[in-house]
Chain A
Amino acid sequence: MMIKQFLFVLLILVGAPIVGGLLFGIDRKITARMQGRYGPPFIQPFYDFFKLLGKEHIAVSRMQFVWIYGYLVFMIASLVFLVMKSDFLLLVFLLGFAGVCLVLGGFSTKSPYAHFGANRELMQILAYEPVLLLLAIAIYAQNGSFLISEIFRQDKPLLFTLWPLFLAVLYVLTIKMRKSPFDISTCHHGHQEIVKGVTTEYSGPYFALYHLAEWYEIILLLGIISLFWTNPLWVGILIALAAFLLELFIDNITARMTVGWMVRLSWSVGLILGIINIAYIYYTKGVS
């Protein structure tokens, strides 16, 4: 049992970046087609990755690389927590640590661009973290446990009762995928800018690590979305993929908004959705 689980985790850890990289390749292709361009090949992200890996180790600060390792390791740890069906609340905290690492990576340089990016990334954390924590509480209210394994044990999909939070999580996905209108701290594709926010000062292998972490992150996020429908799981995965495609569509029809607007929107609409959702569950189930 232990060995089987271990092998499964290992498989996910190896497979996640491959699938994640491919997803980003598809992203670039579809986005290009939407904009009437031809677009790079699907495996372009891997070309980029290995190209970056082969470059010289260059840094602008001595602490920068520590934080990018932290970002990667905590992202992987969050994914392992998801795969092992562990505590969802703790998973959110670990994901928060990963975000903090990225911010500190930006702050550790003496670069105005990285600083702006880091400050904005911090605001992005402020925008999405409450929604994820509310999701954890809603899952508890629904299932009586914070464990992801408990979600898998339920026959009725979470989506039926938690659909308002599902909507909120969708825009968390937009923020996390760095898509318009929330591509604020740095954007996923180079839009107008080439100097790219919080990642400005990363180059070469360290920048490759950043990409690797992003690949893990997309799998983690889609995994969280698929939790909304776990029996059978393939429905959840389809929902997650649909959400992914929806993000590409949103990215191409919206323009970037400001940080303040994002936080206000998230703290009003997102929280209201979450609160209504939790209140509804309490109303139907009662506080035990």
Chain B
Amino acid sequence: MADQMMAIAVLLPVAAGFLVLAVRNYYARNVIVIATAIVLIANSILLALRGPFTYTPSGFDWGLLITILDYAILIFYLYVGITLRNWLVLIFALTQILPLAYFEFIMKAHVEVAPAFVVDHLALVMTMVISIIGSLICIFALRYMYDHEHHAGIEKSRQSRFLFWLVLFLGAMNGLVFANNLVWLYFFWEVTTLCSFQLISHDRTKEAIHNAARAVWMNSTGGTAFILAIIYLYATQGGSSALSMQSIIGGGIQSSIAVLPIALLCYTGFTKAAQMPFQSWLLGAMVAPTPVSALLHSSTMVKAGVYLVLRLAPVYAGTYLSVIIAIAGAFTFFAASALAVSQSTGKRVLAYSTIANLGLIIACAGINTPLSIAAAILLIIFHAISKGLLFLCAGTIEHQIWSRDIEDMEGLAAKAPLTTLITGVGILSMFLPPFGMLLGKWIALEAAYMVPLAAIFFVLASTLTIVFWTKWLGRLLQVLPKIERPFEKLSLSYSVPLWTLLIGIFVVGMGIGPIYQNFLRAATNDVVSGNQIIALGLNNLILITPSFMQREILGLFPVWPLYLILIVALLLPLMLIGVKPKELRPVYMCGEQTGGTDTDEWLAEADRKTKFQLGGFYYQGTLGEKRVNPWANAIAILLLVIMLGCGVIAI
């Protein structure tokens, strides 16, 4: 059974991708993608029910295939670098291809790692996130790309190509989280970089290609660090056995020598997770069609980066490297949140929020207590759901008002009440109690006392988070719909993923007690072999110190009562009371309105009728990118240098 399920998780998306590429009919393509999505979702659930296992494929020289494909990808980057005359892409392709060749041909490395795939609880959590949320985004993309091309007036459809890379991405991600052999992990890592390049550059505009190239060279620096780590581990730790992830995290290598390669691998994770100073590639990726952003931000790509850092947590536990990772992550959380306040484009706010939350997750890995690891896993799940939903909402909004600007979303509630409602819940779920993201943040803060500096960044960042989300939500909800106005109709391809994710927020949020107890605790234990650190009742989340001797209670998060409060506070008034139209009055404008209640015109100077315009504040002067970026990047680079320095000094 295991081999079939592995094949479905990794190879089915590849096969489906090629099938989609070949089929040019819109409806046939939809059927293929939807079927693949259903199979992937079912498969991931079955995998989770089955529990952990290990697997080594046999009967075919997969290692050789992977090596060939490695070179193919890198040669493609060389080609990209030369044709675009982008020397950074070229240089960092060379810095990968040359060490790789050195590794294979001069060191004559023969890497044989058994088992090749280790599917533990953390990998199962990741594959569920990838398969379920990723598949929903693929379904969303079906209709979105159709609308996208129609609006842009594109004659020759390139939807097949788009869906090919989108579906392929899921397979690569699944392979990445399953892989135990570092060389294979590197291969899947490169495939995700390749997919992201193809997807970001999809629209073929100058900006798209330029930004895609930036994504490639930044991630290629990470790839370079990855190869160097592989070579270093292979050379100093005695061959193949050092390239098994399980033996690395299981303490199978000399930890005093291992700090440098681990620091390099963490650097790789930082590039992919778009941590500062690498945030610009993820921001640049916004030019791509929205499903790409949804996929990159929620379930794939950036999650690979945090996955790697989290997976390595036990190796660097108790070192200075760990503290630096915590501070670097916390700093990104803070700086990205501050930058998000100054953004007026919806997708850029979402992007900065992603970068910030990834920083939080990485900081949790760096804090490196069982509690913080649990927080990191919770945050990965909740962030994937909420951010996936929000990007899909952003895409839906974009196809209703054909703008990404938050100011243009003013009064969206009147034009598209359903979309606004879903977006509103999505935004609330990002930063307020009782939703999962705040639960994760709460646990993270409770765990953060280990690294006081990180705790202070957490405090500042979570306050800034409130500011930018509230501003956006305020814009959306400004003008409220007429009561008679029915909900707008959305295409099934839009509404099914939206509703599924929306329900997912509540189901996972309210059921987090049992979910943690039955599933996530095992994942936490797979990362750190900790004791039972978090006791969860059915409706209470109680944190208990690791030591079993003293069961001191750290904190209390009553999940169900909090949901009850939310319902009483917002849902009941909305449903029960409702304002009747005759009670609506115009706002206070000294009587200068020109019409009745619904008017948005008033008499300006010389009694000229003027449209009423309200706007949010964006604090460009204090928090704008131009002002903040030099400082933030300088500090982030300094932290990176210290991080790698930790590795060098430790030798």
**Chain B residues closer than 8 Å to A130, beta-carbon distance:** 459-460, 463
Q: Does A43 contact B (CB under 8 A)?
A: no
Contact with A along B428-457 (1 / 0, CB 8 A): 000011000010001001101110100110
Min CB distance, B229 to chain A, in Å?
30
Answer whether A90 and B557 are a contact pair too, CB < 8 Å, given A104-B473, A110-B600, A126-B463.
Answer: yes
* Alpha-carbon distance between A73 and B566 when the two chains are bound, in angstroms: 9
Whether B480 pairs with A63 at a CB distance below 8 angstroms is yes
Contact with A along B559-600 (1 / 0, CB 8 A): 000000100111011100111000111111100000001001
Whether A93 pairs with B467 at a CB distance below 8 angstroms is no
Q: Does A114 contact B (CB under 8 A)?
A: yes
Q: Does A108 contact B (CB under 8 A)?
A: yes
**Chain B residues closer than 8 Å to A274, beta-carbon distance:** 456
Q: Does A246 contact B (CB under 8 A)?
A: no
Whether B452 pairs with A278 at a CB distance below 8 angstroms is yes
Interface size on B, residues (CB 8 A): 63
**Chain B residues closer than 8 Å to A107, beta-carbon distance:** 470, 473-475, 477-478
**Chain B residues closer than 8 Å to A141, beta-carbon distance:** 449
Min CB distance, A135 to chain B, in Å?
10
Whether B480 pairs with A113 at a CB distance below 8 angstroms is no
Whether A134 pairs with B569 at a CB distance below 8 angstroms is no
- A133-B459, A136-B445 known; 10 new pairs, CB 8 Å cut-off, are A70-B569, A87-B556, A100-B466, A109-B587, A110-B478, A110-B614, A114-B587, A137-B445, A147-B554, A271-B456
Contact with B along A109-122 (1 / 0, CB 8 A): 11111110011001
Partner of B433, one of A62, A86, A93: A93
* Alpha-carbon distance between A86 and B478 when the two chains are bound, in angstroms: 35
Interface size on A, residues (CB 8 A): 69
**Chain B residues closer than 8 Å to A119, beta-carbon distance:** 616-617
Answer whether A108 and B555 are a contact pair too, CB < 8 Å, given A100-B466, A133-B445.
Answer: no
Min CB distance, A32 to chain B, in Å?
27
Residue of A nearest to B441 (CB): A93
Residue of A nearest to B558 (CB): A86
Min CB distance, B51 to chain A, in Å?
34
Min CB distance, B422 to chain A, in Å?
16
Residue of B nearest to A61 (CB): B480
Whether B569 pairs with A89 at a CB distance below 8 angstroms is no
- Return 26 A-B CB contacts under 8 Å, by A number: A61-B479, A66-B573, A69-B572, A69-B573, A70-B570, A72-B569, A74-B565, A89-B555, A90-B442, A93-B433, A93-B438, A99-B466, A106-B474, A110-B479, A111-B587, A111-B588, A125-B466, A126-B464, A134-B459, A137-B448, A140-B554, A145-B552, A145-B553, A147-B555, A147-B556, A260-B622
Partner of A145, one of B555, B569, B586, B588: B555
B:610-638 near A, CB below 8 Å: 612, 614, 616-617, 622
Q: Does B63 contact A (CB under 8 A)?
A: no
